[in-house]
Amino acid sequence: MTAVVLAKSLWRQTTRGSARLGPLFVLWLASFGAVAAPADLSNLRNLASHAQVSAMVVRLSDRATIASLNPDQRLTPASVSKLFSASAALQQLGPDHRFTSRFASHGLVRGNTLDGDLVFVGGGDPSLDNKHLRELVARLQARGVHSVTGDLIVDDGLWGTVPCLTQDRCNAKTRASHAYSAPLSSAGVNFGTVTASLYPGAHSGATVQVALHPADLPGYDIDNQVRTVSRDGKAGVMAWRTYANGRSTLHLRGTLPVGYGPYDLQRAVTGAADETARVLSALLANAGVHVQGRVRTRSSDVDSEGATLATVESSSLAEQLIPMLAYSNNYMADALTLDVAADSGYNLPLTLPRAAQSLEALSERANQFAYPQLKRGGADFTSGSGLSLGNNLSARDLVSLLDYMFHQNALFPSFYGAIPVPLSAPSRTLKQGDFDFQTRIVAKTGTLSEPVTVRALAGYMRLSDGSFAAFGIVINGTRQDPALSYQQTVTAYQHDLENILANY
């Protein structure tokens, strides 16, 4: 007899006049709320007939399993991996950590001239952008430097030169049609991308203007074949960047209606440190700081770069995690993974798979914390972003991490606050559920399309009594059925979570 059936039977006996059962029934029913029956993941179970599914929902107050389906099957997780890179960075660096980028030199400033090389020393800032570099240049000017007799050098020695080890990042050296495949550097800027703004003309047929950021950015040619169309026309632009003979070409095709815009786009660059050198060259020239020598990059010991001339700090790590998780920024997640390894004293130069060993160690600690009796070890990681196919983790691995972070009193507010609430998330994948799904969970999504479909979701939910539960769901296609639809995957886990929220 199930608990629910037994409760109904006792209620019938009580209402028929068994007064002696009344107080006992009330006490028993009050205690019954803490021992609810496991929930059914019917939609995910149906999907598991032709796909690989690992799912688990656990109430954190007592680690009672609310629902599970193949919880220990390790699968490709895609971007839910970023929960591990965010957690590792919080633990290693702390939520208030700020990354410092600086100008340094062995030369002396005489009057308004720096007699020597001007060295930009990258601090591993995942969020470094043009705005920060403009501030750095302004601080150099405020020191009185208006001319440099030597070279402008960008030094990315904090991590060493990071090789491309995923196909997307290696391909981006010669051709990039997206921003997610950006190369990595401790001195990288703008998430390893180049940004362009397109402005339609004043009338149909007029030329569309293209502006790179910053203005006068060297090293680029523009192949612009975007047309201005009437106001009721369609806005649509295709863009890709190619690289040959030392120069990049940004190819643009499509249409923009009159009055539309600006239309902004980002594409991965050929080399992250080289791009920073180009950006700094343009910003220094625009600010009237003349560099007499060459512009170049190098990787060296960052402690040997001489006296600091100017610095700029990033926002706090806690603040950076919010856009990283909301927009699933691969560059930021992998940069943080490399930062954790560098701060831990890993030998240089770093590779991303070696740096990701810190995430494997974190997973092992989390599993030991939440389920010490299982002795499962940690999940497999070759990146902090999930862009690589070498990451393998299960729903239990995800729940264990979420449980572990829930009990880190000093870190949990920053961790929890960085995970998107569906109602206000930029991801359309999260915005399709009912009101409880929209407001009572925070969740990180994961998506890949090749070689098989990957859909994943992990985060926290608030139960009706105000307590927390953690959930992890990972879905992979198979060789026999590699392509899974949105309806089969996202709608399946959405409906199952909605059912749990309705009953808890």
What confidence score (pLDDT) does residue 261 get?
Answer: 83
Q: Is 190 within a domain?
A: yes
Distance CA 307, CA 123 (A): 15
Radius of gyration of the chain (CA): 27
CATH, residue 135: 3.50.80.20
Domain boundary among 294, 314, 334: 314
CATH for 367: 3.40.710.10
442 falls within a domain: yes
Helix (H, G, I), strand (E, B) or coil at 252: strand
In this structure, the answer to whether residues 56 and 183 fall within a common structural domain is: no
Structural domains in the chain (count) = 2
- The pLDDT of residue 303 is 61
Alpha-carbon distance of 417 to 30, in angstroms, equals 33
Which residue in 304, 89, 308, 103 sits closest to 187, CA to CA? 103
Q: How far apart are CA 97 and CA 339, in angstroms?
A: 12
Choosing from 291, 314, 337, the residue where a domain stops is 314
Answer yes or no: do 290 and 333 share one domain.
no
Please check whether residues 402 and 329 belong to one and the same domain: yes
SS3 assignment, position 57: strand
Q: What is the pLDDT along the chain (504 residues), one digit of tens a residue?
A: 334 333 434 333 433 333 334 443 433 333 333 445 568 899 999 999 999 999 999 999 999 999 999 999 999 999 999 999 999 999 999 999 999 999 999 999 999 999 999 999 999 999 999 999 999 999 999 999 999 999 999 999 999 999 998 888 999 999 999 999 999 999 999 999 999 999 999 999 999 999 999 999 999 999 999 999 999 999 999 999 999 999 999 999 999 999 998 999 999 999 999 999 999 999 999 999 999 999 999 997 656 678 999 999 999 999 999 999 999 999 999 999 999 999 999 999 999 999 999 999 999 999 999 999 998 899 999 999 999 999 999 999 999 999 999 999 999 999 999 999 999 999 888 988 999 999 999 999 999 999 999 999 999 999 999 999 999 999 999 999 999 999 999 999 999 999 999 999
Burial of 372 from C-beta contacts in 10 A (0-12 / 13-18 / 19+): exposed
Tokens 């998330």 label which residue? 425
Do 369 and 477 lie in one domain? The reply is yes
- Do 76 and 135 fall within a single domain? no
Burial class (CB in 10 A: 0-12, 13-18, 19+), 1: exposed
Task: Indicate whether 160 belongs to any domain.
Answer: yes
The residue type at 109: V
Q: Quote helix, strand, coil % in the chain, to nearest 5.
A: 35, 25, 40
Q: Are residues 285 and 365 in the same domain?
A: no
- Residue 8 inside a domain? The answer is no
Whole-structure pTM over 0.75, yes or no?
Answer: yes
Amino acid at 122: G
Is residue 420 domain-resident? yes
pLDDT of residue 189: 98
Q: Are residues 330 and 471 in the same domain?
A: yes
Domain assignment present for 13: no
- For residues 7 and 20, give the distance between their C-alpha atoms in angstroms, rounded to a whole number: 16
Pair (64, 188) in one structural domain: no
Q: Is residue 180 part of a domain?
A: yes
User: Does any domain span residue 407?
Assistant: yes
405 and 456 share one domain: yes
Judge if 280 and 361 occupy the same domain.
no
- Nearest-5° Cα angle at 403, 93 to 354: 45
CA pseudo-torsion sign 368, 371, 373, 374: negative
Write out the residue range of the structural domain in which residue 365 sits: 39-95+318-503
Same domain, 392 and 427: yes
Q: Which of 314, 333, 348 is the last residue of a domain?
A: 314
Based on the fold, state whether residues 372 and 330 are members of the same structural domain.
yes
Tokens of 429: 């994948």
